[in-house]
Structure 1
Amino acid sequence: MASQSQGIQQLLQAEKRAKEKLEEAKKRKNKRLRQAKEEATAEIDQYKLKRENDFRRIQTSIMGSQGNLAVKIEEQTNEKMQAYNANFQKFKEKVLRELLELAYDIRPELHVNYKYKL
């Protein structure tokens, strides 16, 4: 009986060691997975940063800097506004005079469809 109990104890100890080894293996596996995930995330971030830099470089080479575009658009807008204001001032009196002449020039006459009855 004593040998049976020793055999059971050995089996229990072996089972305990096996469980510990499995737990250690799971811990190592989870650690490797976390590490691989972190490395993949870092690699993705690096790749994304590289692609964004390439895009900005190409965009700048094709379109120029956006600051220059904004300044050019502002200058063009100011030029057009000045031209519109100059034309307004130039033709304002003439147009106003013509409108007043049309409003004051009233010639009463019968409409062509009016039929006079006696």
Structure 2
Amino acid sequence: MASQNTAIQQLLNAEKRAAEKVSEARKRKGKRLKQAKEEAQNEIEGYKQERERQYRQHEQQILGSKGDMESKIDQTTHVKMQELEQNMAANKEKAMQRLLMLVCDIKPELHENYRA
């Protein structure tokens, strides 16, 4: 009977150690997964930053800086405004004469849908 109790006790102890080992293995696996996830996230962030830097560099080479673009836009806008003002000054009198002619020269006529 005593040998059975010791065998059972040894079996229970072995089962307990096995459960502890499994638990430790699960914890290590969880740590490894968390570490791998963090490393992957860091790698993704690094790649993203590198691509963003390359994009900005490429954009800078092709388009120039934003200040240059703004100054070009301001310059073209100023030139177009001057052209419009010159055209307006040149055609102002003609436009006024045309408007006055259309408003003042009235020819009374019956409407085409009027039935006598």
TM-score by length of 2: 0.83
Cα 1:103–1:19 change in 2 (3 A) is closer
Relative to structure 2, which stretch is displaced further, 30-39 or 71-80?
Answer: 71-80
Q: Distance in 2 between matches of 1:31 and 1:107?
A: 95
Number of matched residues? Answer: 109
1:72 alignment partner, SS class: helix
Tell me the equivalent position of 1:97. Answer: 97
Segments of structure 1 that go 5 or more residues without pairing to the other structure are: 110-118
Deviations 1:38-61 (Å, cap 9, x if unpaired)? 001101110111111111111111
Tell me the equivalent position of 1:23. Answer: 23
Deviations 1:47-82 (Å, cap 9, x if unpaired)? 111111111111111111122112211221122112
Tell me the equivalent position of 1:61. Answer: 61
> What amino acid is aligned across from residue 99 of structure 1 in structure 2?
L
Q: Which structure 2 residues correspond to residues 34-73 of structure 1 after superposition, within 5 A? A: 34-73=34-73
When the two chains are superposed, the root-mean-square deviation of aligned CA atoms in Å is: 1.9
Relative to structure 2, which stretch is displaced further, 36-45 or 82-91?
Answer: 82-91
Q: Distance in 2 between matches of 1:32 and 1:104?
A: 92
Relative to structure 2, which stretch is displaced further, 84-93 or 42-51?
Answer: 84-93
Q: Distance in 1 between matches of 2:25 and 2:107?
A: 108
> What amino acid is aligned across from residue 7 of structure 2 in structure 1?
G
Cα 1:107–1:40 change in 2 (3 A) is closer
Structure with the greater alpha carbon radius of gyration: 1
Segments of structure 2 that go 5 or more residues without pairing to the other structure are: 110-116
Q: Report runs of 4+ in structure 1 exceeding 3 Å deviation.
A: 101-109
Tell me the equivalent position of 1:33. Answer: 33
Query: Sequence identity of aligned pairs in percent?
Result: 53
TM-score by length of 1: 0.81
Cα 1:62–1:11 change in 2 (3 A) is same
